[in-house]
Chain A
């Protein structure tokens, strides 16, 4: 308790000691704050509120091509509005910052202007319809301007508002137009590409007819069919051959000429048969007789005439047969008889003559002389054989054709894989292009609709719900607040100043600090005693201070009255200012 009261005492003593400094500091600070409170220029703020309206047509029906968030768009518009040219235009138009323009740079004025423009975004908590999440949506924004005069603030604020609105419209239109133009360009580009690929594809197809992979099945079918056809034809050919052999066999058995019958019923030998029998008779006779024998000669003449009649020489075939028969007879006789047996010699002679004639005939290459057949059976067989032969010939030709065809299909099928790769590449490119073209086309349509939407201002738009009003009172400074704050601060400043002085001063303060300092005791504490001179000095200082305050107030008032504004006017103005 003792200590506490002593502490408080110490502070009171310190205050007493420093009261002069405190009074000076408090006075100066208070004067400064009063001057600040009354001399700060008034700032008028005019505010406009702009609502961000959603598009009228439901977005499910027509989707706008502008998808950025509203606040982001507002910031972008702010940047475009607050360009140097725009702001300087406004500054020039409304003669803003007249006093500053004399000595400040353009940059500083622009900086000030940007500070004076206050843009505030109004958001609301909403629930996103699609995701169901809580988000904040920008529903409006306010645009304010702090001006030196009420009229100026209002004008600039409304000018800025209209700039924002028109800039928004312009950017939206431009953006949607840009989107649709871009899409159209893309579509054109793509269609050009498609026609190119089509031309390429057609060219490729014409170059590789029949080898295209899409024809593989057809080719295979054709090949299979040809294959079966070949087999079929082969079968036909073999059947024809069979028939041919059969017919030939038949034909060989039938004489081309029908045997003539004599009236007696005997068969009249035809010239060939007669020639044959004569020849055989001749052969046997020539064995018995010499060649000059009249019978032999006679027979020879007859043979020769017959030969002429039949047109052919000796029938070599017939001769060969006879020769074989004779040789067999000879072999048989050799078993029975010795070589000197007349029969054997006779047989040997006839074989020799036959061989000779056979050789001659063979050497002459004589062909049996064709004789027109007259046997109807023979003729029919012959004609049948001929038709079979011609059938066979045509079938064989067909087979050859089919085989050639088969070969061509095979080669086509072999070449297909090589072609396939390139073909697939081309066709895929084409398909993709077509697909993309369709997509883009749809998008382009949508974009065009969206552009129409923006053109008619049916999309999301800014609407001015609260135009910039003429401010009735200055927005700042808050003079009573400054005054009050200045009062408190000046008191605090004075005390703080005293505190700093005290703490920096290392001199002894009070008996307490001296007591512990030395070994020697503190014997007495002697107060300061005022004599009449001190008192006189004090009163003099006091009266001087009072006089000074009064005279300085008077001087300030006079200066204000004559240099700034008459006092009565100022009084009413102060009353008005205080009435905030």
Chain B
């Protein structure tokens, strides 16, 4: 883990020096050049910008943007790998889901999005597609009037709904009012059109969909064909192995980019001082 962090730091430093993308590839030079203007545009022209207090974010465990620590490191690791894979396969739409409910899928989606948005040349749009229980806005302490459901039901313009919480190139599309027939809505042509539009509007933008749990509703299943890849969030000591395998098989043809183990108590991830000492001990023993 530490080595990875070191590698990340090194990569970041290199990029700052050379102005090249990850791994120094020249294929992305064009998009990198465009980034600043895109951000400028979203921030200041079309999107509502709201400053969310850091204290609230911290209370809601959205810390990957500013706090240092193993938690942030874990998300950095995640975002780097996700970004690499997306770029390699030329994907830009990612669905975040989990086998069951309350396994931290929305929080993971937010933190991942923020972590990706920390990248200099990257903008991220987080779509709260959990239309039954939209929760992304609540995490940011926002009370938006309109959201995705309004767009699907009453053609509210996209520009009115987007919110910029004041963190890098990070934009939220809130869920709006809860819907009952969410899976049908997610499968509707309008939604398909929206996905296509979001996908193609900005080349260096990653769109992350926060989907409902795979096993509790058909929403995720219905929406899966429209995304490039999916990320499965698993809660340690809660998600059953059989549920995980079932969820993975339900995703079917949609590419599973990987899994995330959430709320882990593994010594590597413990922040406690005492546990830290233990960790050190284990490390020495291990190597």
A residues with a Cβ closer than 8 A to B are: 1-2, 5, 9, 12-13, 16-17, 505-511, 513-514, 517-529, 531-533
In contact, A526 and B245 (Cβ under 8 angstroms): no
CA of A531 to CA of B62, assembled, Å: 10
Interface contacts beyond A523-B77, A523-B257, A526-B71: sample of 12 additional A-B pairs, CB < 8 Å, sorted by A: A5-B282, A5-B286, A508-B244, A509-B236, A510-B264, A513-B241, A514-B259, A517-B241, A523-B259, A526-B111, A526-B269, A529-B71
The interface-forming segment of B53-61, B180-188, B194-202 is B53-61
Residues from chain A with a CB closer than 8 A to the CB of B237 are: 17, 505, 507-509
Q: How far apart are B156's CB and chain A's nearest CB, in angstroms?
A: 33
Offer 24 A-B interface pairs, CB within 8 angstroms, sorted by A.
A2-B286, A9-B266, A12-B267, A13-B265, A13-B266, A507-B241, A508-B236, A510-B236, A514-B234, A514-B261, A517-B241, A517-B244, A517-B259, A518-B259, A519-B248, A520-B256, A520-B258, A524-B77, A525-B260, A525-B264, A527-B70, A527-B263, A528-B264, A529-B271
Complex Cα distance, B229 from A520, in Å, reads: 11
Residues of A with C-beta under 8 A to B111: 526
Contacts of B231 in A (CB 8 A): 523
Q: Complex: how many Å from CA A511 to CA B237?
A: 11
CB distance from A16 to the nearest CB of B (A): 5
Find A524's partner among B81, B248, B270, B282 (CB 8 Å cutoff): B81
Distance of A16 Cα from B78 Cα, bound (Å): 25
Shortest Cβ-Cβ A-B pairs, 6 listed: A527-B269, A524-B78, A523-B258, A520-B256, A528-B263, A526-B74
Judged by a CB distance under 8 angstroms, whether B285 is at the interface is yes
Q: Which residues of A sit under 8 angstroms from B286, Cβ to Cβ?
A: 1-2, 5
User: A370 CA to B107 CA in the complex, in Å?
Assistant: 192
A510 → B minimal CB distance (Å) = 6
**Are B78 and A526 closer than 8 Å at their CB atoms?**
yes
Contact A506 B259 (CB under 8 A): no
Tell me the complex Cα distance, A9–B267, Å.
Answer: 7
Tell me if B123 counts as interface (CB < 8 A to partner A): no
Is there a chain A Cβ closer than 8 Å to B239's Cβ?
A: yes
How many Å lie between the Cα of A505 and that of B61 in the bound state?
27
With most chain A CB atoms within 10 A of its CB, the pick from B59, B241, B242, B266 is: B266
Task: Determine whether the beta carbon of B264 is less than 8 Å from that of A517.
Answer: no
By a CB distance below 8 angstroms, the chain B residues around A13 are 265-267
Residues of A within 8 A of B75 (CB): 524, 526
B262 near A: Cβ within 8 Å?
Answer: yes
B258–A525 CB distance below 8 A = no
A residues within 8 A CB of B239? Answer: 507-508
> Considering the chains assembled together, what is the distance between the CA atoms of A12 and B256 in angstroms?
31
One of A505, A525, A531 near B268 (C-beta < 8 A): A525
Q: What residue in chain B is nearest A2 (Cβ atoms)?
A: B286
B58 nearest in chain A by CB position? A531
Q: Which residues of B contact A507 (CB under 8 A)?
A: 236-241
Contact of A16 among B77, B82, B104, B265 (CB under 8 A): B265
A260 to B261, CA, bound (A): 196
- Could you tell me the distance between the alpha carbons of A161 and B255 in the complex, rounded to whole angstroms? 90
A510 adjacent to B266 (CB under 8 Å): yes
CA distance A17 to B74 in the complex (A): 21
Looking at A1, A16, A505, the one whose CB has the most chain B CB atoms below 10 A away is A16
The answer to whether B108 and A526 have CB atoms under 8 Å apart is yes
**Residue pair A506, B241 in contact (C-beta under 8 Å):** yes
A514 to B256, CA, bound (A): 14
Q: Which of B59, B78, B264 contacts A511 (CB 8 A)?
A: B264
Measured CB to CB, the nearest residue on chain B to A512 is: B266
Known: A525-B266, A526-B78, A527-B71. Is A514-B244 also a contact (CB below 8 A)?
Answer: yes
Q: Which residue of B lies closest to A527 (CB)?
A: B269
With beta carbons under 8 angstroms apart, the residue of A2, A513, A522, A531 that contacts B258 is A522
Tell me the bound Cα distance from A9 to B260 in angstroms: 20
B63 at the interface (CB under 8 A from A): yes
The residues of B that contact A518 with a CB separation of less than 8 Å are: 232, 244-245, 248, 256, 259
* CB proximity of B239 to chain A, nearest CB, Å: 6
Q: Give Cα distance in the complex from A257 to B221, angstroms.
A: 193
Which residues of the partner chain A approach B278 to less than 8 Å between Cβ atoms?
A: 12
Shortest C-beta distance, A509 to chain B (Å), equals 6
In the bound complex, CA of A13 to CA of B236 (Å): 11
Among B81, B241, B245: residue with most chain A CB under 10 A: B241
> In the bound complex, what is the Cα–Cα distance between A2 and B268 (angstroms)?
14
B residues in contact with A1, CB < 8 Å: 285-286
Contact, CB under 8 Å: B258 / A526: no
* Residue of chain B at shortest CB distance from A531: B59
Which of B61, B78, B261, B285 sits near A531, CB closer than 8 Å? B61
Kindly identify which residue among A526, A532, A533 contacts B260, using a CB–CB cutoff of 8 Å: A526
Q: Give A522 to B256 CA distance when docked, in angstroms.
A: 11
Please report the C-alpha to C-alpha distance between residue A126 and residue B239 in the assembled complex, in whole angstroms.
73
With the chains together, A506 CA to B258 CA distance in Å? 21
Q: What is the CA–CA distance of A372 and B71 in the complex, to the nearest angstrom?
A: 193
Cβ of B285 and Cβ of A5 under 8 Å apart?
A: yes
Q: Is B256's CB under 8 angstroms from A519's CB?
A: yes
Q: Which chain B residues border A526 with CB–CB below 8 Å?
A: 71, 74-75, 78, 104, 108, 111, 260-264, 269
Provide the bound-state CA to CA distance between A523 and B241, in Å: 17
Cα A524 to Cα B82 in complex, Å, equals 10
B residues in contact with A533, CB < 8 Å? 59
Contact B63 A529 (CB under 8 A): yes
A519: nearest chain-B partner, CB-CB: B256
Is A527 touching B240 in the complex (CB atoms < 8 A)? no
Complex alpha-carbon distance, A5 and B70, angstroms:
21
Chain A residues with Cβ below 8 Å from B240 are: 506-508
Closest residue to B281 on the A side, CB-wise?
A5
Q: Which residues of A contact B71 (CB under 8 A)?
A: 526-527, 529
Give A183 to B42 CA distance when docked, in angstroms. Answer: 130
**Chain B residues whose CB sits within 8 angstroms of the CB of A9 once the complex forms:** 266-267, 282
Convert B116-160 into 0s and 1s, putting 1 for each residue whose CB lies closer than 8 angstroms to a CB of A: 000000000000000000000000000000000000000000000
Q: B263 to A523, Cβ gap below 8 A?
A: no
* Chain A min CB distance to B24 (Å): 23
Known: A510-B266, A528-B264. A523 touches B78 (CB 8 A): yes
A527 to B265 CA separation, bound complex (whole angstroms): 6
Given contacts A520-B256, A527-B71, A527-B270, contact A508 B245 (CB under 8 A): no
Give the CA-CA distance A524 to B74 in the complex, in Å: 6
Closest residue to B258 on the A side, CB-wise? A523
A524 x B242 contact (CB < 8 A): no
